[in-house]
């Protein structure tokens, strides 16, 4: 398993980590198997979506910010309940097949770390299973 640091730059942000994950697959020498990407945080998520047009990231974040408002009758003392909610809506992990040493992603797909309470340095865990 590799635990990689990912520096985020704003409170809410999607960072394309596809190349970082592919580097781990390449370094491992695995030909065929599964790659699990996980974030050990309660205010960061992982998702797969379009990486070609940056407007897609913008639109996803715009709508998720409307679905989960910053001001609400939240009880969580830390004041970052919206970040926790967004993380649960999107999820903390993804599993991607590996074939011939490459992540099996669609032409337009990329893997994104979704920061909801940044900026901070986050951890991205990459685990590989030969199959
Ligand atoms: Zn909190």
Tokens of 46: 């992982």
How far is ligand 1, taken at its centre, from the CA of residue 131, in Å? Answer: 38
Burial group, residue 39, by CB count within 10 angstroms (0-12, 13-18, 19+): buried
How far is ligand 1, taken at its centre, from the CA of residue 55, in Å? Answer: 29
How far is ligand 1, taken at its centre, from the CA of residue 94, in Å? Answer: 23
What is this structure's pTM? Answer: 0.96
pLDDT of residue 16: 98
CA–CA dist 97, 33 (Å, integer): 6
How far is ligand 1, taken at its centre, from the CA of residue 14, in Å? Answer: 19
Is residue 44 a contact partner of residue 115, using CB atoms and an 8 Å limit?
A: yes
Instruction: Return the sign of the alpha-carbon dihedral for residues 114, 116, 121, 126.
Output: negative
List the strands of the sheet with 102-103, edge to edge. 2-7, 121-130, 33-38, 93-99, 102-103
Q: Count of domains in the chain?
A: 1
How far is ligand 1, taken at its centre, from the CA of residue 82, in Å? Answer: 9
The phi and psi torsions of 46 (rounded to 5 degrees) equal: -130, 135
Range of the domain at 37: 2-130
In order of 26, 31, 64, the CA distances from 56 in angstroms are 28, 31, 12
Residue 72, domain CATH: 2.60.120.460
Which own/partner contact pairs does 62-69 have at CB distance under 8 Å and 24+ positions apart?
64/89, 64/90, 65/12
Print pLDDT tens along the chain (131 aa).
Answer: 999 999 999 999 999 999 999 999 999 999 999 999 999 999 999 999 999 999 999 999 999 999 999 999 999 999 999 999 999 999 999 999 999 999 999 999 999 999 999 999 999 999 999 99
How far is ligand 1, taken at its centre, from the CA of residue 85, in Å? Answer: 10
How far is ligand 1, taken at its centre, from the CA of residue 16, in Å? Answer: 24
pLDDT of residue 67: 96
How far is ligand 1, taken at its centre, from the CA of residue 129, in Å? Answer: 32
pLDDT of residue 91: 98
How far is ligand 1, taken at its centre, from the CA of residue 84, in Å? Answer: 7
């Amino acid at each position: 398993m590799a635990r990689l640091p990912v520096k985020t730059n704003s409170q809410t942000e999607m960072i394309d980590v596809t190349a970082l994950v592919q580097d781990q697959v390449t370094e491992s020498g695995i030909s065929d198997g599964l790659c699990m990407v996980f974030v050990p945080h309660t205010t960061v998520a992982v998702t797969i979506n379009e990486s070609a047009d940056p407007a897609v990231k913008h639109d996803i974040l715009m709508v998720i910010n409307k679905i989960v408002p910053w001001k609400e009758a939240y009880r969580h003392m830390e004041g970052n309940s919206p970040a926790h909610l967004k993380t649960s809506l999107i999820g903390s992990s993804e599993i991607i097949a590996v074939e011939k040493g490459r992540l099996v992603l669609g032409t337009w797909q990329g893997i994104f770390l979704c920061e909801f309470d940044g900026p901070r340095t986050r951890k991205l865990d990459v685990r590989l299973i030969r199959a």
